[in-house]
Structure 1
Amino acid sequence: MPNHGSSAAPRTSPRAGEVAPIIPILARKVREVEAKSNRGKVGPTNRTRFQVIALLVRDERSRIRDDSALSGNTRSELLKRLDGIATILARIAARDTSLLSLLDSQTQPGPSAQRMRNEWLLSSGAELSEEELQIKAPAPARTPVVSASLAQKQVVPAGVPKRLKARPFAPPVFPSGTSPAVGHLSGWDLLEPLYRSFEQGAGGGAASMPLPPSPRIDQYSPKPLELMAHQLQLLESVKQGHRSFLLADEPGLGKTAQSVIAASVAHAYPLLAVVPNVVKINWAREVSLWTPRRKVSVIHGDGRDVDAFADVFVINYEILDRHLGWLSKFGFRGMVVDEAHFIKNLSSQRSQHVLALADQIRRSTPDGDPLLMALTGTPLINDIEDFHAIWRFLGWVDAEGPTPRLRQALEAIGRTPADRAFYPEARTAVVDQGIVRRVKTEVAKDLPARRVVDLPVELDDDLGRSIRQAERELGARLAAKYRALTASRSPREGWDLDIMRHVAEGELEASRSASSGENVFTMVRRIGQAKASLASDYTAQLAHSVGKVVLFAKHIDVMDTAERLLAEAGLRTVSIRGEQSSSTRQRAIDAFTTDPGVSVAICSLTAAGVGLNLHVASNVVLAELSWTAAEQAQAIDRVHRIGQEEPVTAWRILAAHTVDTKIAELIDAKKGLAARALDGSDEEIVSTTTVQVDALVHLLMEALEG
């Protein structure tokens, strides 16, 4: 394949009268990529598809224009079909602007893109020469940690230059890269088979690497603290030399403590911890608690108060961009990313900054094997490809596929992805790189039970009636679209679920871009507003009878209503919201956990659903629903965690006779992504978007029945 995508067209053998047999293949592939894009996710494999489609559209357009054997009408028709494909590419790139660089004719395709291009051409009947079939490695390009656009934003805390000068004889760094393995998997695109190996589950096998036995005596934690057996097992693995972990323990099992002490065991100082803003101060406390001899410095704003001679540096995602310069040169020997699902979107700057720093730390660590830990109880939210950014952070894969250590393990299987038996062994090979997943029912058997109790409430006021009317109008609108698409069908043929989903997906796409009018998102928000007073009343009753209560809501106006009504009921409250500074948020948490006079913590479902320890309460009120089971579980796990001594009850307030009850039913029935990928279950994998579409299909069915 000369020049990595040369416009020189291969000779083709037309199939079934098709003048340009590659065009139907490109049309099918671009629709597959668009479908992924519509669900908000263009992962690595589909990015490669996007690039290959663009390359082949460009090549085919040149070939058609230069082919004198084609009639004018045929040429126009073929170019029109290619323009249609190009239009879809432009639409996809408009949603994810990081794809625009792949449309540049100067962008060289990597080995995976070259192999994919050849496969598609061969399947279209093309005849490729030996030179064209040869996979060429593109010139290596190292992306700088600090891009030109960020250079002006960089800050350097005052003490950092002194720290760097204080270690003029730092140990030398030797290249640690291993040559890519050449074996029977050479030429295979392995990323997609690896995702599929997790999608298929493992017949009941949990995705957790073998760990050493727990020592009988805890020699890691400072007295009088004591670690649990599952925490000690991970630290034993660190002691034995393992250095990269996706620590995916269920929320509440002490992941922060494990990572803090792991740095001590591995002598991985200085250590960088990148964390959500909401837990920044709590992280500093955990460092001081579990490793009291180590100094911790929290980076705020421009870092004016940074102690450059600290052992552990804690920074939040939001300000990482302005500190990339000095962080990349500081000589960190370890890095922890807390709530690592935050980096799942490879096109986001947040993800790119984290990955660039991790690459730099790998290059600057003398043995090339720093301590890298990704902490998240919910590594998968919407898509199995959510794994990719975390795997890249840990150094298990890069943009092209597995890095040498994982590739060597895959080669040792002795099979290829064409063999069904490859997949469970491939999953094990990835797990053994460092996935650790424990669930509460296995390792914290003494943790009290938890349950979710639904409390249906009647919305019998004007707002409730308007919500039900809006639901009927939305259902009627969906039904009209469905009937228009099925006008030629016989009633005896019944309903077409595929067309129903097509109608629902179109409505969902329109709802996301709508600036006004009634849609599923505005309707769900209005339901939350209508439930606010009822949820607040029930919270007040609980607080008077059982003590401290945590109330979760999704929208600020619902939180405001709860705050006002609970104050009118004579209860002191604190709020934990996304716009607060970390110090303000921590004062609110401390007041709730230590002040007997504070009865209720009113928390944002998105901003306070991670990293907080609120086990001083045992009752949770969910005033609004999330679109995912994971987000709901994260909220409940702020209370149901190590240290909880009472059974935990989550009271879920549902608006009866509205779509609210259907959404609750859907998220309960479809929790399968993490269960299948990590816990080996056979549950169905369903994304956030699928729940939203199913809710709209429910409204459509009700309208058709009515």
Structure 2
Amino acid sequence: MKVSASQPFQIIYSLYQHEYLGYLFESFVVHLDENGKLTLQHQNISSKNAKEFAHGLDETDFMLIDLMDAMQQESVIKHFNKRSIKPEDFFLKTYDSQKGNETLQKEIEHYLERRRAKILANLKGKRVFEMGNDGEPAWKEIEVQETKATILFHFRRNEENTHYFPTIKHNGEKLDFQYKSAYIVCKNPAWMVLGGKLYSFEKDVDGKKILPFLNKRFIVIPKNVEEAYYNKFVAPLIASFDVYAKGFEINTERYAPKPIITLSELASNKAALTLFGENGNGHASDDEKILIELMFQYGPFKFKADNIGKVSVTVEKKGESYVFHRVQRKQSSEKSYLDILNSTGIHLKNSKAIFSKPQAFGWLDQHRELLESNEFSINQRSLNGKRYFIGEYKIDIEVRENIDWFDINAVIRFGEYEIPFQKIRKLILRKKLEFELPNGEIAVIPDNWISQYGDLFAFSEEEKDGSTTLKKHHLALVQDLKDGNMAQVQMSRKLEGLREFEKIGEATMPVKFKGSLRPYQKAGYNWLRFLNEFHFGGCLADDMGLGKTVQTLAFLQSMKEQGQEGTSLLIMPTSLVYNWQNEARKFTPGLKVFVYTGTNRMKDPSKFSKYDIVLTSYGIVRLDIDILTQFYFNYIILDESQAIKNPGSNIAKAVGHLKSRSRLILTGTPLENSTMDLWSQMNFINPGLLGAQSYFKNEFLHPIEKKGDEEKLKKLHSLIKPFILRRHKSQVATELPEKVENIQICQLSKDQEKEYEQVKSYYRDKILENIEASGLNRSQLLLLQGLTKLRQIANHPKMVNPDYDGDSGKMEDVIFMLDNAIRDDHKILVFSQFVKHLSILADHLREQKIDFAYLDGSTKDRQKQVDRFQEEKNLKVFLISLKAGGLGLNLTKADYVFILDPWWNPAIEAQAVDRAHRIGQENKVFTYKFITKDTVEEKILALQRKKKRLAADLITTEESFVKSLSQEDIQSLLT
């Protein structure tokens, strides 16, 4: 019967019992008569219609309505069963006495109890009723009692058994609740209805402790189980509630707490709760764990740290008698001790934490003074007679600079015992982190030593005389030890200057160098001279177009004038040999240059000594490695050194065999795919700088790339910083004209959109099915294939389907803008990674009789195409493929750059633009990147922004970009 919100009404709450769900509440509005009394006219009210009656409700009513809605059977079924099911089927399946789901029953009960407790706590001042059997909501009113009842538990022990029963009082009056049809509405905490009144209890009594006595006078505890019962049931009861006992003693006792930390070794199959999350991050094997347990000693009694109640009870049996020691806990003192432990990074669960052995003893050593000053006792529980050393650890290290190395002097002590540095080093390198001391105790190398000195242990070397040395190129490691007060260091100020590039002194320019260096180029030259003085290898990693070639030539000229004799070998991609030859002729005409390339090259290494510089290609080195290893070069210099980024490649192995006094590498992109690229190049210039390949993978590559470890990234940066000089255009080439970047959004044509949607649907279903069946890793090839086809169709469907005779929205935009730029007398570079895309545009230019230069991987007269574009005034367009034009081109006559298709790697796009925006450019450079709307191209841009950190730290290729995609990323690309 509907109630009008415009008429007087009252909200009431009605309690009823559900066959399976127990006691539930429902909310109603009831019409009031002219005297303000409830009528039989009522209506259910829920969150859906509550706003109609808002003027008669308060905030608590709205909250109660929401809670009661959530308890109705439809809501419960929907919450615990996502599929559609009839209520009777759900309840039979869940609560069947034979096949019911007990786990689900408990979850439902927990769900409902939380809501019951919250409802009951907010019913004060509200009208509450028992619902009649006919569904009448206001059948019998229940009075909500504002004051809480108290409960006293009675125990009477005699020779045969112990009787146990509670008494309840409310407002000082004893309640006669047994055999009076009382019922428990909520168990946790207890709420009881008795004689039309609703009672709650002080101390949050568990309703299960009252429930047995609603229809029973007392419970009998037999003699044969009383000891177990007293410990498991009676002792916790005495700790939390008021108890009256006959037949045993209850003594209240007070002591000051003393914190005790106990260490013990664990068996192998325990899960680890460590400082670093589950299973830890330590170097000991997973089955070697130490349990750290905190307890508090109160006089003769010990209690676990996780049970911080006001009172703890211990049961003592004296002959046939029992004494319950009720110990008052000092919660504030215990919390302060826990806060001290939390400040050290240890977080207890159930008063315990489990560490790997190095972590446990590292933690103990690191915080020993703090624990001792706060009077923590450290004990250990031996296992199988094994006893660990828990005394003081100490490591003192002194580093002294020698001629070409550092001498390492170290004193390591475990208590009174001094242990040789080399013994500890060998143990750590073998991942064996414990050893026996002369007194039979087991010493464990703490993990803070591994984190602080791990690189020193890994990179130092034992000499024949037993001394320990460190190669000088590890100066960053030495400096970090000094800065962290982890070692006493003696190092020259001049060598320290390499860490801070600005502190490197000025070097005189070579007299016979033709030309002048810009200030930043002169600084790069000074840096190369400094490296040469200390016999260090280096990586000149300036941005494209900043003059790495001219800085290197100035350096080679200076070495000749300084009397440093010898021939230097420069290795580069074939396409750059001609450029190096021209630059050397221009800037260093006094240097004798020999070009070692071509099928008719003279394979006689003895001829090299007549020249200052030998120019060759990576391909020739790979073919002639046996010949080239016969000659000892002054310098070996690799241009575009990312060619050796894969340490397992033939070319990386080949250049590693070459012999020289020193090594340099030149590259605008030292990282393209992975931090392993960096290891390969750094290991070439300074062998051993980053350790062995396996060490680098474990200590740097995996933590940085898989875990995003910032500390490892900082450490890696610190190690390589002295030997990489990288300047960006924005920092140094201020004389360059402005570079303006634009994104040109294109629309799919109708025919093009139809082709795109067909291919997208096909690959989306196929890829997602493959991921579900075979996993993400095994679907990457199919994903790359599908994305490539979609990108090609977004450019022009003819790239995928030669028979396509429709149009392309992007191609129309490109042609329109290209025609305008030509008409306005601009010179334009047009880049695409797809040769087919360039071919379609080339066909248009031929039809329009527009001359153009062209360069892809099959072009043989590469330099001729470059010269034509640079020198012929009427030649306005240069079509260039990514692979062919990404390196070694100087195209400063161009002032427009068109990028026809977005690349996974923003750095490669930047390289393309740098063909025009480089030293020598006098015009403003306009870049247009063409993106087709509502296609994978647009979504790739969004993902690039999302993964900006990955692109910045680890410049990615297509394959590595695809590997970085999550399933959610893939679904967004294909929707």
Give TM-score, length-normalised by structure 1. 0.60
Query: What is the aligned residue count?
Result: 485
Amino acid at match of 1:384: T
Give the aligned partner of residue 384 of structure 1.
675
Q: 2:585 pairs with 288, 297, 312, which one?
A: 288
Contact 1:459 1:465 in 2 (8 A): no
- CA shift, 1:232, in A, is 0.8
Give the aligned partner of residue 6 of structure 1.
none
Q: Deviations over 1:495-533 (max 9, x none)?
A: xxxxxxx96544324446xxxxx6122322333444456
Alignment partners' CA distance in 1, 2:783 and 2:710: 41
Identity of aligned residues (%): 22
- CA shift, 1:315, in A, is 1.4
Alignment partners' CA distance in 2, 1:604 and 1:633: 14
Give TM-score, length-normalised by structure 2. 0.44
Alignment partners' CA distance in 2, 1:421 and 1:658: 39
Alignment partners' CA distance in 1, 2:813 and 2:592: 47
Give the aligned partner of residue 135 of structure 2.
none
Contact 1:554 1:606 in 2 (8 A): yes
Give the aligned partner of residue 435 of structure 1.
724
Contact 1:457 1:656 in 2 (8 A): yes
TM-align CA RMSD: 4.6
Q: Cα 1:645–1:348, aligned 2, differ >3 Å: closer, same or farther?
A: same
Q: 2:841 pairs with 538, 562, 567, which one?
A: 562
Alignment partners' CA distance in 1, 2:667 and 2:690: 22
Contact 2:905 2:956 in 1 (8 A): no
Give the aligned partner of residue 470 of structure 1.
759
Gaps of 5+ in 1: 1-11, 19-23, 30-110, 123-128, 131-176, 195-205, 403-418, 486-501, 513-517, 678-684
Question: Is 1:460 equivalent to 2:749 in the alignment?
Answer: yes
Contact 1:592 1:599 in 2 (8 A): yes
- CA shift, 1:381, in A, is 1.6
- CA shift, 1:676, in A, is 5.0
Aligned positions of 1:515-530 closer than 5 A? 519-530=786-797
Secondary structure in structure 2 of the residue aligned to 1:578: coil
Give the aligned partner of residue 559 of structure 2.
266
Q: Deviations over 1:558-602 (max 9, x none)?
A: 122222222222321112222334xx1111111111121221111
Give the aligned partner of residue 245 of structure 1.
538
- CA shift, 1:118, in A, is 3.5
Secondary structure in structure 2 of the residue aligned to 1:519: helix
Give the aligned partner of residue 644 of structure 1.
921
Alignment partners' CA distance in 2, 1:606 and 1:649: 22
Give the aligned partner of residue 871 of structure 2.
594
Q: Cα 1:182–1:698, aligned 2, differ >3 Å: closer, same or farther?
A: same
Q: Deviations over 1:253-299 (max 9, x none)?
A: 10111112211222364121111122121111111111111222223
- CA shift, 1:423, in A, is 7.3
Give the aligned partner of residue 374 of structure 1.
665
Contact 2:690 2:719 in 1 (8 A): no
Give the aligned partner of residue 232 of structure 1.
522
Amino acid at match of 1:256: T
- CA shift, 1:221, in A, is 7.0
- CA shift, 1:652, in A, is 0.6
Q: Taking CA–CA contacts closer than 8 Å with sequence separation of 6 or more, which of the two structures ends up with the larger relative contact order?
A: 1
Amino acid at match of 2:646: N
Give the aligned partner of residue 634 of structure 2.
333
Alignment partners' CA distance in 1, 2:777 and 2:512: 52
Contact 1:281 1:298 in 2 (8 A): no
- CA shift, 1:314, in A, is 1.5
Contact 2:904 2:958 in 1 (8 A): yes
Q: Deviations over 1:464-494 (max 9, x none)?
A: 4212332233334455567x69xxxxxxxxx
Contact 2:845 2:851 in 1 (8 A): yes
Contact 2:576 2:888 in 1 (8 A): yes
Secondary structure in structure 1 of the residue aligned to 2:683: helix
Give the aligned partner of residue 855 of structure 2.
576
Secondary structure in structure 2 of the residue aligned to 1:522: helix
Alignment partners' CA distance in 2, 1:258 and 1:354: 22
Q: Deviations over 1:647-698 (max 9, x none)?
A: 2121111111101111123335544358558xxxxxxx87755643549744
Give the aligned partner of residue 304 of structure 1.
601
Q: Cα 1:477–1:326, aligned 2, differ >3 Å: closer, same or farther?
A: closer
Amino acid at match of 1:646: N
Question: Is 1:15 equivalent to 2:268 in the alignment?
Answer: yes
Give the aligned partner of residue 349 of structure 1.
650
Contact 1:218 1:226 in 2 (8 A): no
Amino acid at match of 2:647: L
- CA shift, 1:616, in A, is 1.2
Q: 1:607 pairs with 884, 887, 890, which one?
A: 884
Alignment partners' CA distance in 2, 1:648 and 1:456: 20
Contact 1:272 1:312 in 2 (8 A): yes
Amino acid at match of 1:230: Y
More helix by share: 1
Alignment partners' CA distance in 1, 2:823 and 2:427: 67
Q: Deviations over 1:357-415 (max 9, x none)?
A: 2xx22xxx4xxxx2x2211111112222221011111024268449xxxxxxxxxxxxx
Amino acid at match of 1:235: Y
Contact 1:575 1:601 in 2 (8 A): yes
Alignment partners' CA distance in 1, 2:879 and 2:867: 14
Alignment partners' CA distance in 2, 1:456 and 1:399: 45
Alignment partners' CA distance in 2, 1:118 and 1:183: 21
Alignment partners' CA distance in 2, 1:304 and 1:481: 52
Alignment partners' CA distance in 1, 2:742 and 2:665: 33
Give the aligned partner of residue 700 of structure 1.
971
Alignment partners' CA distance in 2, 1:266 and 1:587: 34
Q: Cα 1:508–1:119, aligned 2, differ >3 Å: closer, same or farther?
A: farther
